[in-house]
């Protein structure tokens, strides 16, 4: 059953004022007494009322826009992800309003509010680090069609599209096992997000299942300038790992650079596996990165399809679309001497 959007009249009734008075409060007019203003503002917060800046449209006319919020505009994973979204939405006559949360939940909350004010028909959200479940719960309760992508703060709260993070890590561990590696480390981003928890959990489980040694987990900043430090951190571990699995290709590329700075050769002195298979990986000089391809365009397309389904049928059962990853073996992994 579709959820009715809270209206200005609902606010006025709940606050015991006229619609005109409630409207004056929304517009920040000085004509309203402080006590009345406080009462109306309290009701606005309780009802989670969001003014519609497009209310001047003809009744029943849709905005044909969809909001997409991603963590940053630097990682090319997100540009490929958005391309997949746009390809699906373009066919249905929808446009994308794109914004970056900068992995800041407070900024994300402001962006979500503005998307609702501009009457976005639905939202695809790549949740920022630290996003609380009530952020999703409030959107769903307000009847906002929503899809969480890649990360989630509760798979049972909304539709979801992502990758099989556990399989990606298992593929990496088994590849290294087949090359004779027994001491394997994990290079992770510093931050608590569902993708990190799922990949680390799968890493530890698969090592136990294969009888291999967890040589250590190190956290580094998700920055081109910061990630090379991971090489020195890994080389300082005792006993030293012979291989490392990285959270993504950016961290893996930083690790390769750090190894070169130390006079070490990836694939010989330390085997390295990335995650994402970003488009730039094949463009660099050898050694080329062994990585897990997760198909961000397909995940973006799946997100868009789920959202269009939710817009069309708000009462449909929750659905998840998981894209199967694939290992791409290149130069940065080799046998143990």
- In tens, the pLDDT along 23-39 reads 778 777 676 788 888 99
Per DSSP, the chain holds a count of helices (H) and strands (E) of 11, 12
pLDDT reported for residue 8: 81
How does residue 223 score in pLDDT terms, banded at 50, 70 and 90?
A: low
Instruction: Copy the structure tokens of residue 101.
Output: 């949360």
* Angstrom distances, CA of residue 68 to CA of 86, 89, 90: 10, 12, 14
- From the list 282, 293, 204, 290, the residue with the least C-alpha distance to 252 is 290
CB 259, CB 231: distance < 8 Å:
yes
pLDDT reported for residue 280: 76
What is the rounded average pLDDT of the residues 55-69? 71
CATH 3.40.50.2300 positions along the chain are 65-163+297-324, 165-295
pLDDT reported for residue 56: 42
How does residue 225 score in pLDDT terms, banded at 50, 70 and 90?
A: low
- From the list 252, 251, 250, the residue with the least C-alpha distance to 272 is 252
pLDDT reported for residue 58: 45
Mean pLDDT of the chain: 90
186: three-class secondary structure by DSSP? strand
How does residue 59 score in pLDDT terms, banded at 50, 70 and 90?
A: very low
How does residue 3 score in pLDDT terms, banded at 50, 70 and 90?
A: low
pLDDT reported for residue 150: 96
* Angstrom distances, CA of residue 157 to CA of 59, 72, 222, 243, 249: 30, 24, 28, 37, 30
DSSP assignment of 71-114:
S-SSSHHHHHHHHHHHHHHHHTT-EEEEEE-TT-HHHHHHHHHH
Cβ-in-10-Å burial (0-12, 13-18, 19+) of 234 comes to: buried
Instruction: Copy the structure tokens of residue 263.
Output: 């006079």
pTM confidence score: 0.82
Q: Tell me the residue length of the chain.
A: 337
Pick the CATH number of 165-295 from 3.40.190.290, 3.40.50.720, 2.60.40.10, 3.40.50.2300: 3.40.50.2300
For the cut 60, the answer to whether the pLDDT of residue 251 exceeds it is yes
Tokens 């005792």 found at = 238
d(CA 83, CA 296): 9
How does residue 192 score in pLDDT terms, banded at 50, 70 and 90?
A: confident
What is the rounded average pLDDT of the residues 46-74? 75
Beta partners for residue 276, in sequence order: 293
d(CA 168, CA 324): 8
For 89-135, write each residue's pLDDT tens digit.
999 989 999 999 999 999 999 999 999 988 899 999 999 999 999 99
Question: Is residue 166 within a helix (H) or strand (E), and if so which, with residue range?
Answer: helix 165-178
pLDDT reported for residue 271: 99
For the cut 80, the answer to whether the pLDDT of residue 270 exceeds it is yes
In degrees to the nearest 10, what's the CA dihedral of 74, 75, 80, 85? Answer: -70
For the cut 60, the answer to whether the pLDDT of residue 302 exceeds it is yes
For 122-144, write each residue's pLDDT tens digit.
999 999 999 999 999 999 999 99
- 275 φ/ψ angles, rounded to the nearest 5 degrees: -155, 120
CATH superfamily of 65-163+297-324: Response regulator (3.40.50.2300)
DSSP 8-state code for residue 332: S
């Amino acid at each position: 059953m579709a959820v009715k959007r809270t209206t200005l009249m609902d606010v006025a009734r709940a606050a015991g004022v006229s619609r005109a008075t409630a409207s004056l409060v929304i517009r920040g007019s000085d004509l309203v007494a402080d006590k009345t203003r406080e009462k109306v503002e309290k009701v606005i917060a309780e009802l989670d009322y969001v003014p519609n800046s497009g209310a001047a449209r003809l009744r029943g006319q849709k905005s044909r826009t969809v909001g997409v919020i991603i963590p940053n505009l630097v990682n090319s994973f997100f540009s490929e992800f958005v391309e997949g979204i746009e390809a699906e939405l373009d066919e249905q006559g929808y446009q994308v309003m794109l914004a970056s949360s900068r992995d800041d939940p407070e900024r994300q909350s402001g962006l979500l509010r503005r998307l609702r004010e501009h009457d976005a028909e639905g939202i695809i959200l790549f949740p920022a680090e630290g996003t609380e479940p009530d952020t999703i719960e409030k959107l769903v309760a307000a009847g906002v069609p929503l899809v969480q992508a890649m990360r989630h703060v509760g798979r049972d709260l909304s539709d979801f599209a992502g990758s099989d993070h556990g399989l990606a890590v298992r593929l990496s561990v088994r590849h290294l096992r087949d090359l004779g590696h027994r001491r394997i480390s994990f290079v992770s981003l510093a931050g608590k997000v569902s993708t990190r928890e799922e990949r680390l959990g799968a890493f530890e489980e698969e090592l136990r299942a294969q009888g291999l040694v967890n040589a250590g987990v190190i956290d580094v900043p998700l920055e081109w300038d910061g990630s090379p430090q991971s090489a020195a951190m890994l080389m300082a571990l005792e006993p030293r790992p012979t291989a490392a699995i990285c959270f993504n290709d950016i961290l893996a590329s930083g690790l390769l650079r750090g190894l070169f700075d130390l006079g070490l050769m990836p694939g010989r002195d330390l085997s390295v596996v990335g995650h994402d298979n970003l488009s730039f990986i094949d463009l660099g000089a050898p050694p080329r990165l062994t990585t897990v391809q997760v198909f961000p365009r397909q995940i973006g397309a799946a997100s868009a399809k789920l959202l269009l389904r939710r817009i069309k049928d708000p009462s449909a059962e929750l659905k998840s679309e998981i894209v199967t990853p694939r290992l791409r073996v290149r130069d940065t992994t080799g046998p143990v001497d």
